[in-house]
Amino acid sequence: MNKNLYQPINSEIVDIIDESPTIKSFVVVPEEEFKFETGQFVELTLPGEGEAPFTPSSSPTVTDKMDITIMKAGRVTALLHDCQKGQKVGIRGPYGRGYPVNDYVGKDVYIVGGGVGLAPIRSLFLTLVDRIQDFKSVVCRFGARTPADFIYKNTLFDSWQKIDGVDIKLTVDQADGQWKDNVGVVTTVLSPDDVDIQNSVAVVCGPPIMMKFATLKLLEFGFADKQIYLSMEKNMSCGIGKCGHCMLGQYYVCKDGPVFTYDQIKRYPNIWD
């Protein structure tokens, strides 16, 4: 029989990290080596309960385990949040096309992220800094609702900001007493002077409303449609371009995405919904 693509690889949750009031990272160890490209996604099964798509947030150079950062958003993610270390899970994938990192070589990589959208971005960020000399710069503009809602705080507020070639600015919608950075939605920390627009690519990942307005802002700055890479969140289910749930116009997000350029998808209605 052909390989059964619906069969998950038996895996185990070996660690759980509280990232924010609504977000946790799960360290998952599959029974077999698991390779993926940054930006590709996996289907995580909670046996007997359900399955949901996530882009691993760890570096693709690590193949014996992966980090999966999950926001409590629906039934399956709520159940995952209740899981303890040692929980058996299943992993299918990796699926789709991730970030074409080699196309970014020699350019400014302008990354705009918000909320749990920092999960795929963390994997991309780790991939980029592994070979930071290949890129002109890595410029990050990240937003969250409040300082507590930022994920990966330990590294984001500290070591990541000290990497040569990396420029990070943070913003929150609502500050608390200690917050010293910008207050406002993520578009308020975007400036056309952040990067050399002619020689850069932009990567946007976050809640749909944020992706929409960040994309519009980038277009206003003069980014071409083809320079903007969007990680699209749709209802990916089978992962192999058949079940139809994730269709975005002619594309199966699971197979042709989840990373698209704005140019590829702009003609379709309701892409941000």
Partner 1 sequence: MKVFFISQIRPLLDAMAGQMDVYVPKKANSHYVFERYDPDSENDVVFNNIRACTPVKEFLFPLRELAAVFPEPLEPKDIKPFAIIGLKDCDLRSIEILDKVFTEKEFEDPFYIRRREKMFIISSDCYEPAESCFCNVMGGHPFVQSGFDLNVSQVGDGFIIEAGSQKGEDFIKKHSQLFGPADQSQLDERDRKRAEAQQQLEHNNADMKFGVPVHEIVENSHDSEVYDQEATTCVECQACTRVCPTCHCFYLYDTKQKDYFGKMKMWDSCMRLAYAQVAGGENPRKVLGDRLRHRFMHKFSYFLDRYGIDMCVGCGRCVDAEAGDVDIRVVLKKLNEELQGKGKEKEKVAK
Give contact residues for partner 1 (rule: CB under 8 A).
1-8, 10, 45-52, 73-77, 88, 90, 207-208, 233-235, 237-238, 240-250, 255, 267, 269-271, 273
Smallest distance from partner 1 to CB 45, Å = 6
Backbone angles phi, psi at 263, to 5 degrees: -55, -40
Report yes or no: 148 and 235 within 8 Å, Cβ to Cβ. no
| Complex with partner 1: residue 76 or 148, whichever CB lies closer | 76
Smallest distance from partner 1 to CB 1, Å = 5
Smallest distance from partner 1 to CB 179, Å = 26
| Complex with partner 1: residue 2 or 133, whichever CB lies closer | 2
Smallest distance from partner 1 to CB 242, Å = 6
| Complex with partner 1: residue 219 or 247, whichever CB lies closer | 247
| Complex with partner 1: residue 43 or 194, whichever CB lies closer | 43
Closest CA relative to residue 46, chosen from 11, 71, 15, 4: 11
Report yes or no: 234 and 187 within 8 Å, Cβ to Cβ. no
Smallest distance from partner 1 to CB 76, Å = 7
For residues 52 and 69, what is the distance between their CA atoms, to the nearest angstrom?
12
| Complex with partner 1: residue 191 or 250, whichever CB lies closer | 250
Smallest distance from partner 1 to CB 116, Å = 9
Neighbouring C-beta atoms of residue 75, cutoff 10 Å = 11
| Complex with partner 1: residue 51 or 194, whichever CB lies closer | 51
Closest CA relative to residue 153, chosen from 69, 80, 39: 69
237, two tokens = 């289910």
Smallest distance from partner 1 to CB 178, Å = 29
For residues 20 and 9, what is the distance between their CA atoms, to the nearest angstrom?
28
Closest CA relative to residue 145, chosen from 172, 176, 168, 180: 172
Report yes or no: 186 and 91 within 8 Å, Cβ to Cβ. no
Sheet holding 182-183, edge to edge: 182-183, 166-172, 137-144, 108-114, 200-205, 228-231, 259-261
| Complex with partner 1: residue 41 or 110, whichever CB lies closer | 41
Neighbouring C-beta atoms of residue 219, cutoff 10 Å = 16
